[in-house]
Each structure stands twice: as C-alpha cells, then as structure tokens.
Structure 1
C-alpha cells in the first residue's frame, strides 16, 4: 500500500468516526483495543489491515470496502443505528405526521445552516 493510500484510509476513518460522534477512546473500547491504536490509524502511523477494517466498519456502520477504498456512489449508504431508529419511528407515523416531521427537520436544518454561516 502506498503512503498516499494509507493517508486516505486514515482520513476516511477519522471522518467516519467524527460523523458518528464517537471519540477515539469510545471506538477503541468497542473494538477491544487501546485508544492509541485508533490514534495511530488516524495519523497514518499504523496501517489498517483487513481484519481491523472489518472490526472498525462494524462499529462505524459502514462497509469495510468503504473504509479501505472510499465510497462507491453506486453502493447505497448504510444508516447508522440512530438513523435506523429514526427511520423505524418515522415509518410508524401517519403520512400527514411524516410530512410535518419533514418540514420540522428542514426548518431546523435551515436554522443551523444560517447560524453556521454567521
């Protein structure tokens, strides 16, 4: 594996962990590892092997291939556990309530985007 590829994998790991709001320590505990191992992966000091990619991907809610090679836009995104819960709840709502929730989410997203732009 070339150095550039290792850096890309490290970046994808850090991004995936951040998107899920999981600390290095928490992810390491889930995997049964020391926090330094995650830090070494994310800094590119240590290379992620296939078995570790499988373990990491399991706890990050993604496919090992996505971690190792990047996202293939033809592959559907697998939702994380919170997204799955939200989807299950959403599907139980009547259609008119689903529309209300979508409007509420869009309003909140707009508020957040406006705040971030300031």
Structure 2
C-alpha cells in the first residue's frame, strides 16, 4: 500500500486588523469618512498614490506572508511529529520481528532441490 503526502493547506490570510502603527493623521482620516480599506492600505498596487499607502501596502503583504509562514510551519511540525510516531512504530515492529526470529528454534536447513 503506497501512501502519498497530502499537500499543505495554506489559505489566503484574511487579517483585517487595524494597523497598530498607523499615525494619528491616518486614524483621523479613517474616522473622517474615508473607507476602512484606505485606512488599512490599498488592496492593489495600482491604488497606491503616496508613500504612506506604499508603507501600509508592504506591511499588509508582510503580515500575509507571516501568517502563511506560520500556517505552513505548524503544518510541517505536525507532519514531522506524525512521521516520528510512524517511524517509532516501524522500529518497534522491526524489533519484534528480530526478537521473534531469535526465539525460534534453529532447525536443520533443508537441501535445496535441483531441477
């Protein structure tokens, strides 16, 4: 029976937390009626019109990458732990086979038949 590894499950990060490093000017703009998306940064490169928006956009991308990296890291660690458990079980099984073969009485070996 051959089992293949399942692909890692990485979904797009949907963090919509407010920017903790936002300046008071950006916060006042957000409260003055500008959209929430502009307070968090532009969602597309084409929407960038100022250095502050570029900074927010890059920070948003870095947060997404960090989230994906954390997800992948935890999945890899889970798989490594599962593989470790499987290897331990395999080692125990091999040791049981070795012990079982050592406990058998050695019989007289038969002569191979020649045809």
State if a TM-score over 0.5 links the two structures. Answer: no
- Name the structure, 1 or 2, with higher relative contact order (CA <8 Å, separation 6+): 2
Higher share of residues assigned helix: 1
TM-score, with structure 1 as normaliser: 0.34
TM-score, with structure 2 as normaliser: 0.34
